[in-house]
Amino acid sequence: MLGLTTRFSFLALCVLQIDEEVAKLLELKAQLGGDDGKHQFVLKTAKGTRDYNPRQMAIREKVFNTIIGCFKRHGAETIDTPVFELKETLTGKYGEDSKLIYDLKDQGGELLSLRYDLTVPFARYLAMNKITNIKRYHIAKVYRRDNPAMTRGRYREFYQCDFDIAGQYDAMIPDAECLKIVHEILSELELGDFCIKMAWADVKKEMVNEKGLSEEVADQIGEYVSMQGGMDLAERLLQDQKLSQSKQACAGLSDIKLLFSYLQLLQVTDKVVFDLSLARGLDYYTGVIYEAVLTQTGVGLGSTEAQQEAHAEDSVSVGSVAGGGRYDGLVGMFDPKGRKVPCVGVSIGIERIFSIMEQKASAEKVRTTEVQVMVVSAQKNLLQERLKLVSDLWNGGVKAEMMYKKNPKLLSQLQHCEEAGIPLVAILGEQELKDGVVKLRVVSTREEFDICRADLLAEIRRRTSEA
């Protein structure tokens, strides 16, 4: 199961070490020359990290809402765990990638590390609280001291977005729901066409990794691995003479058949392919494994680059946007008595989805606030009236704002509405005040109506709920 993944990690580590040596030398150089005693403050975020500006946050919020909406539709609860764990909680879970774990400085007390994913903290949480049944999602940032490639969307601080079902249940039912969730989320996000490739971790181990394979069987492997299909392929392989000699392979293939029958009922077989070439980097998978890829060219990130850039165990495939599988052994690693809690889950590749959504939105105007109406004044000395009106609107639950100036110009107030995409303007002038009305302006059409003050809230609600 290692292979590709391991080699990428090793290369990444080498590059990382060179980078750090260069950084140290540059720092030394800065200290030696040119610095006339004055401390030059470095105004930047830590390497491999970034701020999210309001535009990025607006896109992020939209994506989160879609994904969380799906998780909630499926009845999931949510939990949160601390950003750091005891160092030993993470020890022995990530193989060679452990080198990429951020440790905290020993300032006395416990040795701590930043979480590397959400799966190990989830397993720790289940074991610690003796929970044997839960359907939960967890969206949070994780940390990897990897070689950053920020222009290609790879960061040292990045989001993971996991949905998992833990518990002893009848075969393949929760597994089928995970695939349904991937199907729903990718459809709703409208990222273009996609395909969910599915395999079975143990069948694969049996076929590919088992060392005692005869030469004849080894030759056969290439043939199997290149196969793709649906229920029919699983049936055909079940009747294959060589495979039928392996109990484990038969059990896996039967489960795949059962899974396909559930996927038909859940109406997602149009996108699911049984694909033995699929490999996922983590050793802890014990049953069905899957990965969703975008199939439309030109969407998202480039091909070979995307492959290199993918976090090792998240994916080795091109354009991967979700992945997961069954891991029945992980929780038992944390239980003092080794009690197992079977788990199956899916991780949505949310950082790549953010990148794609940002690219798609690059031409569009993205609103960064939800303001429905701007309170403006047509003449001077109306600050008090504006404050009174905006206060009434806030109290009425309307999203409203005004400029923090005593006497702003009408034009600059209207301009702000155009720029910020605010749909309505409530204009106060001396005439309006005398008449007990507010002039309501529709920004898109530039129409204006005098609205009686008492009817204003209802009118604003009517006009903004239409949109």
Q: Which is nearer to a copy of itself, 314 or 401 (CB)?
A: 401
Are 321 and 186 contacting, i.e. CB atoms less than 8 angstroms apart?
Answer: yes
446 is in an annotated binding site: no
The footprint of a copy of itself on residues 134-173 (CB under 8 A) is 134-136, 141, 143, 145, 157, 165, 167, 169-170, 173
Give the binding range for a copy of itself (CB under 8 A) out of 41-49, 207-215, 240-248, 284-292. 41-49
Q: Which is nearer to a copy of itself, 282 or 375 (CB)?
A: 375
Are 291 and 278 contacting, i.e. CB atoms less than 8 angstroms apart?
Answer: yes
- What's the length of the chain? 467
Q: How many residues bind a copy of itself (CB under 8 A)?
A: 95
The residues facing 113 across adjacent strands are 85, 103
- Does 88 interact with a copy of itself (rule: CB under 8 A)? yes
Dist CA 347 CA 181 (whole Å): 10
The residues facing 137 across adjacent strands are 78, 163
Q: Which is nearer to a copy of itself, 84 or 224 (CB)?
A: 84
- Does 50 interact with a copy of itself (rule: CB under 8 A)? yes
Query: Residue 149 has what DSSP assignment?
Result: B
160 is in an annotated binding site: yes
Q: Which is nearer to a copy of itself, 58 or 208 (CB)?
A: 58
Q: Which is nearer to a copy of itself, 263 or 306 (CB)?
A: 263
- Per the structure block, which two tokens stand in for 437? 């009305």
- Does 80 interact with a copy of itself (rule: CB under 8 A)? yes
- Does 93 interact with a copy of itself (rule: CB under 8 A)? no
Dist CA 374 CA 327 (whole Å): 53
Dist CA 123 CA 340 (whole Å): 10
Give Cβ neighbours of residue 6 (< 8 Å, ≥ 6 apart). Answer: 96, 312
Query: Residue 336 has what DSSP assignment?
Result: T
Q: Which is nearer to a copy of itself, 383 or 443 (CB)?
A: 383
The footprint of a copy of itself on residues 324-343 (CB under 8 A) is 334, 336
Dist CA 447 CA 380 (whole Å): 23
Are 161 and 137 contacting, i.e. CB atoms less than 8 angstroms apart?
Answer: yes
The footprint of a copy of itself on residues 294-323 (CB under 8 A) is none
User: In angstroms, what is the minimal distance from the CB of 440 to a copy of itself?
Assistant: 18
Helical residues (DSSP H) of 323-429, grouped into ranges: 330-334, 350-361, 383-395, 410-420
463 is in an annotated binding site: no
The footprint of a copy of itself on residues 240-259 (CB under 8 A) is none
- Per the structure block, which two tokens stand in for 95? 């193989």
Dist CA 326 CA 169 (whole Å): 13
The footprint of a copy of itself on residues 190-249 (CB under 8 A) is none
Q: Which is nearer to a copy of itself, 240 or 459 (CB)?
A: 459
User: In angstroms, what is the minimal distance from the CB of 242 to a copy of itself?
Assistant: 32
The footprint of a copy of itself on residues 359-398 (CB under 8 A) is 368-371, 383-384, 387-388, 391, 394-395, 397-398
User: In angstroms, what is the minimal distance from the CB of 243 to a copy of itself?
Assistant: 27
In one letter, which amino acid is 423? P
The footprint of a copy of itself on residues 396-455 (CB under 8 A) is 397-401, 404-406
The H or E element containing residue 250 is: helix 247-265
- Per the structure block, which two tokens stand in for 74? 């499926």
- Does 14 interact with a copy of itself (rule: CB under 8 A)? no
Enumerate the known binding-site residues.
Answer: 117-119, 144, 160, 164, 280, 284-285
Enumerate the known binding-site residues for L-histidine.
Answer: 117-119, 144, 160, 164, 280, 284-285
